[in-house]
Amino acid sequence: MKQRAEIGVFGGSGFYSLFKKAEEVSIRTTYGVPSSKVTVARVSGRMLAFIPRHGTRHQFPPHSVPYMANVSAFAALGVTRVIAPTAVGSLRPEVGVGDFVFCDQFVNFTSGRKDSFYDGPVTTHVSTADPYCPEMRKIGLEAAQKMGLKSRRTGTVVVIQGPRFSTRSESRFFRSQGWDVVNMTQYPEVVLAREKEMCYLNVSVVTDYDVGLEGDPRVVPVSHEAVVKAFNRNIGKLKELIAEVARTLPKERGCECGKALEHARLEA
Ligand SMILES: [Zn+2]
């Protein structure tokens, strides 16, 4: 199939459209229908595709997002690089609300989510030692610095099942492990992209301090409404960042993400 888009963007909570004017594409995949129609448009000279991961009316809670269909839809359009903004809670006092974190590791605390395209008979084990594309992280960070955004070059996100937020004890445990931020949607999206040999860049926007940060006066039990409002305040910056990343990404990939399946199978 002809490549129709090179860069795919998954919008997070409150981020339901990316383009002023775009072509709408309806896609049905082997794994069902994605969260919404895919919009495709040219940005900074590159073809971008956009899917709001929670749907245009936020009808898919984190544990019900059709992650397989969403990643498949991008693959069908020829997407090789994904930019994935997410709202996160901070587990550390020094990670502040409004900070942009370019996560380099995740810890999966979700359960029951379908997280592989490969159910056999060809057994496939991709490496997720470094699940986020190093080249895109470098470019993302440079773009954020150029824009004067308070940003962090690394971060470990613990992905919880949701839709409920963590208890104080859970949050305290996550913090005690040295993890930085907490979220509900990074998994399995990032590993499904890896299985499709796509580069994947997470841009985490800190929307609140998680409840495990006890004794800190900034901590109040978070609400979904507060998360969406805080994320919304940063959507303009996110769109600008996406355009800058699209403008500066080298045409050829200089990373190993495109070879994820090369040694993932035992060839007979
Ligand atoms: Zn890559």
- Torsion sign across C-alpha atoms 78, 81, 83, 84: positive
Measured distance CA(232)–CA(223) in Å, rounded: 14
pLDDT digits (tens, 9 = 90+) for 149-176: 999 999 999 999 999 999 999 999 999 9
Q: In the block, which residue shows the tokens 């084990």?
A: 125
Tell me the two tokens of residue 18. Answer: 């990316």
Ligand 1 centre to CA of 213 (Å) is 34
- What's the 189 CA to ligand 1 centre distance in angstroms? 15
CB 2 within 8 A of CB 74: no
Residue 84: phi and psi, rounded to 5, are -130, 90
Catalytic: 180?
no
- Cα 106 from Cα 80, distance rounded (Å): 21
Report H helices in the chain. Answer: 67-77, 134-146, 168-176, 186-195, 224-232, 235-248
* 10 beta partners: 51
Contact 70, 193 (CB under 8 A): no
Q: How far is the CA of 268 from the centre of ligand 1 (A)?
A: 28
Residue 268 confidence (pLDDT): 55
216 in catalytic set: no
> And the tokens for 209?
């301090």
Give tens-digit pLDDT for 223-266: 888 888 888 889 999 999 999 999 999 999 999 999 999 989 87
Average pLDDT of the chain is 93
Among residues 77, 113, 78, the alpha carbon closest in space to that of 190 is found at 113
- What pLDDT does residue 221 have? 74
Could you tell me the CA-to-CA distances from 28 to 15, 157, 181, 267 in Å, in that order? 22, 31, 33, 31
* Alpha-carbon span 125 to 190, nearest angstrom: 15
Q: Which of 99, 104, 180, 208 is catalytic?
A: 208
Positions of the chain with pLDDT lower than 50, given as ranges: none
Catalytic residue among 119, 180, 210, 216: 210
Q: Does domain 7-257 have CATH number 3.40.50.1580?
A: yes
